[in-house]
Amino acid sequence: MSKKYAIGVDYGTESGRAVLVDLSDGTEVADHVTPYPHNVIDEKLPISGIKLEYDWALQHPQDYLDVLTRSVPAVVQASGVDPADIIGLGIDFTACTMLPVDAQGQPLCFNPELANQPHSWVKLWKHHAAQDEANLINEIAERRGEDFLPRYGGKISSEWMIAKVWQILNEAPDIYEQTDRFLEATDWVVSQMTGASDIVRNSCTAGYKAIWHKKKGFPSNEFFKTLDPRLENVTETKLRGEVVALGTKAGELTESMAKLMGLQPGIAIAVGNVDAHAAVPGVGVVTPGKLVMAMGTSICHMLLGTEEREVEGMCGVVEDGIIPGYLGYEAGQSAVGDIFAWYVEQGVPAYVQAAAEQEGTNVHEWLERHASAYKPGETGLLALDWWNGNRSVLVDTELNGLILGYSLLTKPEEVYRSLLEATAFGTRKIVDAFHNNGVEVQELYACGGLPQKNRLLMQIYADVTNREIKVADSKQTPALGAAMFGAVAAGAANGGYDSIVDAAQKMARVRKDTFKPIPENVAVYEKLYQEYSKLHDYFGRGENDVMKRLRAIREEARH
Ligand SMILES: Nc1ncnc2c1ncn2[C@@H]1O[C@H](COP(=O)(O)OP(=O)(O)O)[C@@H](O)[C@H]1O
Ligand SMILES: O=C(CO)[C@@H](O)[C@@H](O)COP(=O)(O)O
């Protein structure tokens, strides 16, 4: 039999990338990135120019289709592989990235009559404007003693499906009415490839983002009715659809999409998946004790366990949510690379930019090099990494960033280093929350853009967590994982695999070089972490709500 291949498509925050993978050993034969033409829409709507409120983050669904019709043919062409040997395709996506669609499965924002309504567009995972709804969901769930709350670390996030759906109902009841279904973007894109009239939902986003449970289903109608009588039947109406397990074949590629994507019609299309979750088999992790960090604009922390434990502020624990047969745990930090990007774009003096340009390097690399000259603790700075709120363990999008310890002598590279360290302390909080609550974390695995870009960052993470970090060999780990799920959807009989464990064992690799904790650094960072924890609790657990008061004053000033 000739060699067989699968394609994985990874939908990130700013771009989508396709990778064509050799199924015999996981070699990434070709990859191609399509930046989203509309990127993150957070100021004004396309075409109408209507201004968006603070904390909004939308996307254009056409950008997702563009990735399929640009990046997929590009990898096929670059690889020289015969399309007849490409047997499956899987995708992974940011989540909860959701959209309202009509009865034909078309996004409401494609309708020219609705395109000027912000609520008809895709709400990106980092759309944080449904916090009021999330607060009420949590209050009511707690009052009613809903048993789902502990599975989500005690709090449902404003980033997730139910809060976003409720915000639409509250602020644009006409859009809510005209919505046939609310879909995760990952399920919508899959339906566009399979043409399935009966759209399927994947168990991963249903479980982590829409409070669905393998045995118990969604929360009761009674619960939704208490939230708002208009939501009583939402799970049977606008959230309806069969929920199917990861690795399942959602359907086959249609003739029309095959033509646009340069593939053969009829190949297996796997049900959608989440970027961070796909990355776990992508680095070869299929057993407990190994925390996978998908490190990019944000970090998602993924871990397998054998028992359901309650862990403060985790995003969720879902049976079979990552790898069948295990409980999949997720936690995360809402901004990591985004914080460094903010500093590089908004905080760096002109002389740094000029120096970087003169040396033919970028500003991140310049700052990393200069920050590396400092020893842990030497900057005298300490920061809280809440530039985009706190996802775990506090689950509060209304918290903000903080840097302490400035003096007239503070240098830009010292600030940069303090930001790298702050994100490492945030990760340590998550590692400790799992480990101290019975979900062991022995070693760390890193993938995503950051481990390839910043060695100082990775060494700081090893030192702060006092754990060895293995780095994925793949440059596109979530896409590799998605391709594995595509191969599983195709099945061994067609040259793919029968299980994700088989696929991961054959196709995933980590680099030889690892980041090991340096004992002197560990000791200093332990002291700094204790200080970080004090600040964390003081500003994050209600002792001083100054961050929330500042937000309220800002809102008043804006209106
Ligand atoms: N040298 C660097 N050091 C640290 N962060 C960097 C560096 N270069 C880029 N970044 C950050 O990496 C992030 C993008 O990560 P990447 O994994 O490529 O994207 P995504 O999260 O969208 O998948 C951006 O937030 C950017 O600020
Ligand atoms: O929240 C999740 C997964 O649950 C992510 O999709 C979200 O943090 C976005 O990830 P990226 O930073 O784009 O890699």
* Same domain flag for 214 and 176: yes
Task: Please tell me what DSSP assigns to residue 106.
Answer: -
Q: Is residue 345 in a domain?
A: yes
* Same domain flag for 469 and 481: no
Q: Is residue 513 in a domain?
A: no
How much distance in Å is there from the Cα of 125 to the middle of ligand 1? 17
Supply the range of the domain harboring residue 450. Answer: 286-473+518-559
Burial, 346: exposed, middle or buried (Cβ in 10 Å; 0-12, 13-18, 19+)?
exposed
Could you tell me the mean pLDDT of each successive run of 10 residues in the chain, 559 residues long?
Answer: 94 96 97 98 95 95 98 98 98 98 97 97 96 96 97 93 98 98 98 92 97 96 98 98 95 98 98 97 97 95 95 94 94 96 98 98 98 98 97 93 98 98 98 96 95 97 98 95 98 97 96 97 98 98 97 92
Whether the CB of 388 sits within 6 Å of ligand 2: no
Q: Which atom belonging to ligand 1 lies closest to the Cα atom of 344?
A: 27
* Same domain flag for 361 and 489: no
How much distance in Å is there from the Cα of 298 to the middle of ligand 2? 6
What global pTM score does this model have?
0.93
Other beta carbons within 10 angstroms of residue 197's beta carbon come to: 9
* Same domain flag for 261 and 118: yes
Ligand nearest to the CA of 457: 1
* Same domain flag for 210 and 161: yes
At position 460, the amino acid (one-letter code) is: I
CA atoms of 64 and 11, how far apart (whole Å): 8
* Same domain flag for 122 and 245: yes
Q: Is residue 494 in a domain?
A: yes
Q: Is residue 512 in a domain?
A: no
Q: Is residue 211 in a domain?
A: yes
* Percent of the chain residues past pLDDT 90, beyond the cut: 97
Angle value at C-alpha 554, between 551 and 555, nearest 5 degrees:
90
What are the phi and psi torsion angles at 303 (to 5°)?
-150, 145
Count the domains in the chain. 2
Q: Is residue 371 in a domain?
A: yes
Whether the CB of 313 sits within 6 Å of ligand 2: no
Structure tokens at 254: 């249609």
* Same domain flag for 63 and 177: yes
CA atoms of 357 and 366, how far apart (whole Å): 9
How much distance in Å is there from the Cα of 378 to the middle of ligand 2? 32
How much distance in Å is there from the Cα of 94 to the middle of ligand 2? 5
Handedness of CA 268, 273, 279, 281 (dihedral sign): negative
* CATH value at residue 123: 3.30.420.40
* Same domain flag for 442 and 379: yes
How much distance in Å is there from the Cα of 107 to the middle of ligand 2? 22
pLDDT confidence of residue 198: 80
CA atoms of 247 and 155, how far apart (whole Å): 29
Dihedral angle computed from the Cα positions of residues 318, 323, 324 and 326, in that order, rounded to the nearest 10 degrees? -60
In the block, residue with structure tokens 């903010």: 342
Whether the CB of 396 sits within 6 Å of ligand 2: no
* Same domain flag for 235 and 373: no
* Same domain flag for 120 and 9: yes
Ligand nearest to the CA of 314: 2
pLDDT confidence of residue 536: 98
How much distance in Å is there from the Cα of 9 to the middle of ligand 2? 15
Whether the CB of 273 sits within 6 Å of ligand 2: no
Query: Who's near 304: CB < 8 A, 6+ residues apart?
Result: 280, 285, 286, 287, 288, 289, 290, 322, 323, 326, 327, 328, 329
pLDDT confidence of residue 1: 72
Ligand nearest to the CA of 318: 2
Q: What is the DSSP string of 244-282?
A: E-TT-EEEE--HHHHHHHTS-TT-EEEPPEEHHHHHHHH
Whether the CB of 450 sits within 6 Å of ligand 1: yes
Q: Is residue 376 in a domain?
A: yes
* Same domain flag for 63 and 190: yes
* Same domain flag for 267 and 348: no
Query: Whose Cα sits closest to atom 19 in ligand 1?
Result: 296
Whether the CB of 340 sits within 6 Å of ligand 1: yes
Whether the CB of 275 sits within 6 Å of ligand 2: yes
Query: Who's near 170: CB < 8 A, 6+ residues apart?
Result: 133, 228
> Treating both helix axes as pointing N-terminal to C-terminal, what angle do 61-79 and 185-194 enclose, rounded to 10 degrees?
60
At position 120, the amino acid (one-letter code) is: S
Ligand nearest to the CA of 315: 2
